[in-house]
Structure 1
Amino acid sequence: KRTISVPIHGMATVNNVTLSKLQSLNGIFAIYKKQGPTSADVLNMLKQKLLNEAGVANANHRKRKKQALKLGHGGTLDSTASGVLVIGIGQGTKMLTTMLTGSKKYTAVGELGKATDTLDSSGSVVQEKRYDHITREAFEEKMKEFIGEIMQVPPLYSALKKDGKRLSVLLKQGHVVEAKPARPVTVYSLSLQDFSPPLFSLDIECGGGFYVRSLVDDLGKALSSCAHVRELTRTKQGRFTLEEHVLQEERWTFRDISQSLQPCPEPTAVQKNGKRGKARDSCSQPGSECADPSPERAGGAGRDCCPAD
Structure 2
Amino acid sequence: MPKDSLPPLPLSGLFAVAKPSGPTSMAIINDVKDLVNTSPLFVERGKLAAHKEGKNEKQKRRKWKSNKDMVKIGQGGTLDPLADGVLVVGIGRGTKKLSEFLDCVKEYKTTCLLGCETDSYDCQGAQVRVAPWRHVTREMVENALPVFRGQIEQTPPIFSALKMDGKPLYEYARSGTPLPRKIEKRPVTIHSLEIEEWLGSDHSFRYPEQVLSEDQRQALEKTLRSVQEDARVVDEPEEPVEDDRAPTAFVLRMKVSGGTYVRSIVHDLGHAVGSAAHVVTLTRSRQGRFTLEPTEGDMGCISWDVFKAAKEDAGPADEGGYTAWEREVLDKIETIDTSVTTASGAKRGQSSS
Question: TM-score w.r.t. structure 1 length?
Answer: 0.71
- The equivalent of 1:115 in structure 2 is 117
- The equivalent of 1:259 in structure 2 is 331
Q: 1:218 aligns with which of 245, 252, 268?
A: 268
Q: Structure 1 residues 248, 27: CA separation in 2 closer, same or farther (over 3 Å shift)?
A: same
Q: Structure 1 residues 70, 165: CA separation in 2 closer, same or farther (over 3 Å shift)?
A: farther
Q: Structure 1 residues 172, 99: CA separation in 2 closer, same or farther (over 3 Å shift)?
A: closer
What is the correspondence of 1:1-309 to structure 2 with a 5 Å cutoff? 24-52=10-38, 59=66, 68-98=70-100, 102-168=104-170, 170=171, 174=175, 176=177, 178=179, 180-195=183-198, 196-197=200-201, 198-244=248-294, 245-252=300-307, 253-264=325-336
Deviation at residue 164 of structure 1 after TM alignment: 3.4
Q: Distance in 1 between matches of 2:112 and 2:142?
A: 14
Deviation at residue 98 of structure 1 after TM alignment: 2.8
Deviation at residue 175 of structure 1 after TM alignment: 6.4
- Larger of the two Rg values belongs to structure: 2
Could you tell me which runs of 5 or more consecutive residues in structure 1 were left unpaired when the two chains were aligned.
Answer: 1-20, 270-309
Could you tell me which runs of 5 or more consecutive residues in structure 2 were left unpaired when the two chains were aligned.
Answer: 1-6, 41-47, 56-64, 202-247, 295-299, 308-324, 343-353
Q: Structure 1 residues 201, 99: CA separation in 2 closer, same or farther (over 3 Å shift)?
A: closer
| SS at structure 1 position matched to 2:335 | coil
Q: Structure 1 residues 153, 100: CA separation in 2 closer, same or farther (over 3 Å shift)?
A: closer
| SS at structure 2 position matched to 1:187 | strand
Q: Structure 1 residues 127, 265: CA separation in 2 closer, same or farther (over 3 Å shift)?
A: farther
Deviations 1:263-287 (A, max 9, x none): 34879x9xxxxxxxxxxxxxxxxxx
Q: Please, what is the CA RMSD of the aligned residues?
A: 2.9
Structure 1 stretch displaced more, 100-109 or 174-183: 174-183
Q: Distance in 2 between matches of 1:97 and 1:75?
A: 9
Q: Distance in 2 between matches of 1:59 and 1:200?
A: 48
Q: Does the 8 Å contact 1:240/1:246 carry over to 2? A: yes
Deviations 1:165-222 (A, max 9, x none): 4434x35974637462111110000111122151111001000110110000000001
Deviations 1:128-169 (A, max 9, x none): 01111111111101011111001100112323223334434x
Q: Does the 8 Å contact 1:23/1:69 carry over to 2? A: no
Q: Distance in 1 between matches of 2:195 and 2:101?
A: 30
Deviations 1:92-143 (A, max 9, x none): 1111123565310000001000000000001000110111111111110101
Deviation at residue 254 of structure 1 after TM alignment: 2.6
Which structure carries more helix by proportion?
2
Structure 1 stretch displaced more, 147-156 or 192-201: 192-201
Number of residues paired by the alignment? 243
Q: Structure 1 residues 239, 101: CA separation in 2 closer, same or farther (over 3 Å shift)?
A: farther
| SS at structure 2 position matched to 1:80 | coil
Identical pairs, percent: 39
